[in-house]
């Protein structure tokens, strides 16, 4: 099991996991989390979260001991930078200063890491500059996650910002498909608390836009309309029970979501004049809401895909593939660097 990793994506409403071995997905699972266990401020009860994870692993007979975590966006800063060509040691000394406009706390309170996107050379072919994707993660947050997993009996091997988990998926996809792949990718994560639209050139991360609504917003509209608990409304939504996906208030929200996704794409195109973005890949729980996807698809001129098309999946992956891409990407990215 030396090349087997447990990828974890722990969100506001559910934990998603992937077991990845030698670049292939072996198992995908997801389980709901109690309300308010995860908030924008972090884990409210590490012990309770550890209990939930331990029960899930036991129930699914998962014994993998090395974990790769997809860090929530609020736990990490990420930015594209260009720096003079330098050694690894020099980079690690200089990276904190690339974040001085982004982090408010002491720079020594953060871990720093980077990925090289490109090496620019002068006319003589000598390296001149490095194009990097750099990230900074609060040491306190990493320690908390490490402690939670230790209670579960799992070692945190790597923690990767969510944005870079998709980078790992794209890189693996392009390696497998050589020249038969898009030049640019838009990945839209239709999540429970928010929708995030990420842009990539090849596997290089470019930018993101956050839309402050998601599955919880639709659940609330259904709950108000048919007078049920939001948890019941979530089930109604996915099953389209009694046509709940077609509620007029929901239809109005779908239209607003579609407009915001289109704005994100247009904004990227405006700021990237040489862009030739043609493909968008959807993931997240709302990607299974037919009425929403119909509304979004009708508003876009891009080729619309399910993110499962980028993933090395087993035949029995089913609908879980659309829910677990960040967990898969975290495991695959860690495996590639091991």
Q: Whole-prediction pTM value?
A: 0.93
The predicted-structure confidence for 233-246, as pLDDT tens digits, reads as follows 999 999 999 999 99
Count of CB atoms within 10 A of residue 236's CB?
A: 21
Q: What is the pLDDT of residue 101?
A: 83
Q: What is the pLDDT of residue 13?
A: 87
The predicted-structure confidence for 115-162, as pLDDT tens digits, reads as follows 899 999 999 999 999 999 999 999 999 999 999 999 999 999 999 999
Where does the pLDDT of residue 338 fall: very low under 50, low under 70, confident under 90, or very high at 90 and above? low
Count of CB atoms within 10 A of residue 31's CB?
A: 14
The mean pLDDT value for 163-175 works out to: 94
Pick left, alpha or beta for residue 240 (phi over 0 → left; psi -120 to 50 → alpha; otherwise beta).
left
Which is nearest to 190 in space by CA: 264, 305, 289? 289
- Helix/strand/coil for 199: strand
Sequence-ordered list of residues with C-beta below 8 angstroms from that of 184, at least 6 positions apart, any chain: 199, 200, 201, 202, 275, 276, 277, 278, 279
The predicted-structure confidence for 2-21, as pLDDT tens digits, reads as follows 689 999 999 888 999 999 99
Which tops the pLDDT comparison, 143 or 312? Answer: 143
pLDDT at 55 over 70: yes
Where does the pLDDT of residue 336 fall: very low under 50, low under 70, confident under 90, or very high at 90 and above? low
- Helix/strand/coil for 3: coil
Q: Is 22 exposed, middle or buried (0-12, 13-18, 19+ CB in 10 A)?
A: exposed
pLDDT at 79 over 80: yes
286: tokens are 């709302």
The predicted-structure confidence for 273-290, as pLDDT tens digits, reads as follows 999 999 999 999 999 999
Task: Taking the CA atoms of 154, 22, 15 and 109 in sequence, report the sign of the dihedral they define.
Answer: positive
Please give the Cα distance from 21 to 41 (Å, whole number): 33
Q: What is the pLDDT of residue 2?
A: 61
The mean pLDDT value for 74-92 works out to: 91
pLDDT at 1 over 60: no
Sequence-ordered list of residues with C-beta below 8 angstroms from that of 114, at least 6 positions apart, any chain: 91, 95, 132, 133, 134, 135
The mean pLDDT value for 321-331 works out to: 95
């Amino acid at each position: 099991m030396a090349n087997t990793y447990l990828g974890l994506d722990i969100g506001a409403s559910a934990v998603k996991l992937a077991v990845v071995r030698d670049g292939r997905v072996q198992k995908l699972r997801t389980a709901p989390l109690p309300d308010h266990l995860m908030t924008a401020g972090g884990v409210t009860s590490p012990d309770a979260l550890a209990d939930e994870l331990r029960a899930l692993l036991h129930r699914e007979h998962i014994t993998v001991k090395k974990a790769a975590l997809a860090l929530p966006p609020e736990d990490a800063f990420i930015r594209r930078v260009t720096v003079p060509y330098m050694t690894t040691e020099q980079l690690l000394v200089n990276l904190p200063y690339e974040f001085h406009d982004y982090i408010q706390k002491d720079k020594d309170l953060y871990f720093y890491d980077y990925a090289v996107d490109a090496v620019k050379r002068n006319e003589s072919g000598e390296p001149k500059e490095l194009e990097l994707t750099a990230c900074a993660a609060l040491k306190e947050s990493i320690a908390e996650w490490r402690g939670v997993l230790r209670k579960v009996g799992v070692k945190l091997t790597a923690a990767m910002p969510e944005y870079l988990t998709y980078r790992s998926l794209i890189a693996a996809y392009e390696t497998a498909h050589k020249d038969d792949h898009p030049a640019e990718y838009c990945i839209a994560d239709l999540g429970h608390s928010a929708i995030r639209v990420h842009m990539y050139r090849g596997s290089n991360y470019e930018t993101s836009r956050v839309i402050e609504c998601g599955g919880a917003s639709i659940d609330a509209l259904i709950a108000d309309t048919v007078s049920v608990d939001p948890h019941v409304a979530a089930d109604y939504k996915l099953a389209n029970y009694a046509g709940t996906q077609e509620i007029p208030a929901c239809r109005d929200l779908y239209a607003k979501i579609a407009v915001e996704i289109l704005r994100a794409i247009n904004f990227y195109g405006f700021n990237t004049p040489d862009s030739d973005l043609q493909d968008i890949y959807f993931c997240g729980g709302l990607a299974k809401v037919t009425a929403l996807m119909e509304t979004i698809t009708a508003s876009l001129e891009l080729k619309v895909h399910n993110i499962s098309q980028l993933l090395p999946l087993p035949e029995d992956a089913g609908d879980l593939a659309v829910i677990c891409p960040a967990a898969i990407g975290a495991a695959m990215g860690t495996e590639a660097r091991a």
